[in-house]
Amino acid sequence: MSTAAHELIDPARVADPEAGSRVQLTLPVDDVDAMCEELTTRGVPLLNGPIDRPWGIRTASFKDPGGHSWEIAQ
């Protein structure tokens, strides 16, 4: 994996993607199901979802090529 993160956060260390997620970034979308279809069409595997959460929000999650966890929420 090629990334500029090493230069951007030096002298801090960039963790191995297999170390697990420490943060999840959330993007609001109008239609989670439509966005999941678009992501799948583009070859992005979903981690989960679409899921109706008990607190009334529909979500899905995926990882970007850098290993960062993203959630889309409606």
CATH architecture label of 23-73? Roll (3.10)
Q: What pLDDT shows up at residue 65?
A: 83
- Read off the pLDDT band of 68 (50, 70, 90): confident
Q: What's the chain's average pLDDT?
A: 88
Higher pLDDT, 53 or 13: 53
Q: Which long-range contacts (CB under 8 A, 24 or more apart) does 11-20 make?
A: 17/66, 17/67
pTM: 0.75
Q: How confident is the model over 13-17, as a mean pLDDT?
A: 77
Domain residues of the chain, as ranges?
23-73
CB-based burial label for 58 (10 Å; 0-12, 13-18, 19+): middle
